[in-house]
Amino acid sequence: MSELTGILLINIGSPDSTAVSDVRAYLREFLSDPRVVDIHPLARWCLLNLIILPTRPKKSAAAYAQIWQPEGSPLVINTQAQQAALASAVGPDFVVEIGMRYGSPSIASGLERLKDQGCHRIVVLPLFPQYSSAANGSAAEEVMRLVQGSWNLPPIEIVGDFFDHPLFIDALAQQLGPELKRFNPDLLLFSYHGLPERHVEKSDHPGVDCDRLGPCPAVGKHNRFCYRAQCYQTSRLLGQALQLTERDYAVSFQSRLGRTPWIKPYTDVLLEEIAARGVKRLAVTSPSFAADCLETLEEIQIRLQEQWREAGGEAFLFIPCLNDHPRFVETMAALVTGSATPAAPEATTSPVRALG
């Protein structure tokens, strides 16, 4: 009998239902994380309990209700599909489980299921392509917290970011290419999840002065963990794979919350500027999400599309996340098995015409 390797896929999580009480419980756990709301503990407690939790859960519950499926949370459903596809791809010597950083199924339950099935080593894959302390860092920290007290501790490997992995870029290109060819947009918008500017500043290399308004330079040793730089790097590589010019696409950041400055440009603000330039056909996708969720299905597909129409845009296309796309399943398999990184794929013929 061969020894089993356990694979734990981690995503951000979701409420158990659209009930306000379940949404409140989820937000309490999520926003209590000091890597997410990185302010003084007393200030975080006041912000959460006196400002956010009295009002936000009802609004968020209504948003979740618009995208909830009969089987439950879209994020959980899509992650379960990834789990099944990856299990089929890696074969019988691997056991694949999922764990949500917040909510259920939890990371603790995922690790326990792998332990119960006798896995002699565990590989953890946080499904966050671009590194952030709030997502990748928090997931890794939680795994280490949970295992540090175990008497029998199997070897554990935590996979890092994969923002520039050739298979990931190729998976995105394969996902986007046919949709763009069919829709023929004037512009493609890469909308990434946002972060407070202070999160990015904490990742800055000492002595480096960064421009927070223009595109970030290529990722190197001085900005290795800069989330914003990694987002721009993903965009550049994907643009090259699709043979886009710099005028064919734009980069923005969504989902900001509160009054603190978040990384720019903001998706909703940039949308108005794009419409004012006379762009009529807009395609939007979110390369920072591996699976469709509230931020893509409600924030972009519903709300951003409504804003686009109101701003004078004529046609809008939301292109779904990778979910269980076969090429992304290959990407996950390569990441968790340590397969050699393949040569960069050949560029795909661009379906986007340059703006004039």
SS3 assignment for 76-140: HHHHHHHHHHHHHHHCCCEEEEEEEEEECCEHHHHHHHHHHCCEEEEEEEECCCCCCHHHHHHHH
Neighbours of 211 (CB within 10 A): 8
CATH number at residue 115: 3.40.50.1400
| Per-residue DSSP letter, 340 | P
pLDDT in the model for residue 208: 66
User: Domain for residue 345, yes or no?
Assistant: no
Question: 252-255 long-range CB contacts below 8 Å, 24 or more apart?
Answer: 252/189, 252/190, 252/191, 252/192, 253/191, 253/192, 253/193, 253/194, 253/195, 253/228, 254/191, 254/192, 254/193, 254/194, 254/286, 254/295, 254/299, 254/300, 254/304, 255/193, 255/194, 255/295, 255/299
pLDDT in the model for residue 354: 46
User: Domain for residue 346, yes or no?
Assistant: no
Asked whether the whole model's pTM tops 0.85, one would answer yes
Q: Judge if 184 and 296 occupy the same domain.
A: yes
pLDDT in the model for residue 343: 47
Q: Judge if 333 and 185 occupy the same domain.
A: yes
Q: Judge if 224 and 133 occupy the same domain.
A: no
Q: Judge if 181 and 329 occupy the same domain.
A: yes
User: Domain for residue 344, yes or no?
Assistant: no
User: Domain for residue 29, yes or no?
Assistant: yes
For residue 206, the Cα-to-chain-centroid distance in whole angstroms is 27
pLDDT in the model for residue 355: 43
**Cβ–Cβ < 8 Å for 143, 158:** yes
Count CA atoms closer than 13 A to 248's CA, side-chain side: 18
Residue 129: name the closest of 248, 11, 283, 244 by CA.
11
User: Domain for residue 123, yes or no?
Assistant: yes
Q: Judge if 223 and 187 occupy the same domain.
A: yes
| Per-residue DSSP letter, 176 | H
Residue 95: name the closest of 76, 122, 56 by CA.
122
User: Domain for residue 137, yes or no?
Assistant: yes
pLDDT in the model for residue 317: 98
Q: Count the domains in the chain.
A: 2
Q: Are strands 156-158 and 249-254 parallel, antiparallel or unpaired?
A: unpaired
Q: Judge if 116 and 262 occupy the same domain.
A: no
**What is the C-alpha to C-alpha distance for residues 82 and 125, in angstroms, rounded to an integer?**
12
- Give the tokens for residue 356: 């004039």
Question: pLDDT tens, position by position, for the chain (356 residues)?
Answer: 578 999 999 999 999 999 999 999 999 999 999 999 999 999 999 999 999 999 999 999 999 999 999 999 999 999 999 999 999 999 999 999 999 999 999 999 999 999 999 999 999 999 999 999 999 999 999 999 999 878 888 899 999 999 999 999 999 999 999 999 999 999 999 999 999 999 999 987 766 667 777 898 899 988 999 999 999 999 999 999 999 999 999 999 999 988 899 999 999 999 999 999 999 999 999 999 999 999 999 999 999 999 999 999 999 999 999 999 999 999 999 999 987 554 445 444 445 544 43
**What is the C-alpha to C-alpha distance for residues 39 and 188, in angstroms, rounded to an integer?**
35
Question: Where would I find the H helices in the chain?
Answer: 20-31, 41-46, 56-67, 74-90, 107-116, 138-147, 166-183, 197-202, 227-241, 267-276, 294-297, 305-310, 326-337
Torsion of CA 36, 107, 126, 171, to 10 degrees: -120
pLDDT in the model for residue 349: 47
pLDDT in the model for residue 269: 97
Q: Note down the domain range covering 256.
A: 166-337
Q: Judge if 176 and 81 occupy the same domain.
A: no
Q: Judge if 53 and 73 occupy the same domain.
A: yes
Q: Which residue has the tokens 């990778």?
A: 322
| Per-residue DSSP letter, 218 | P
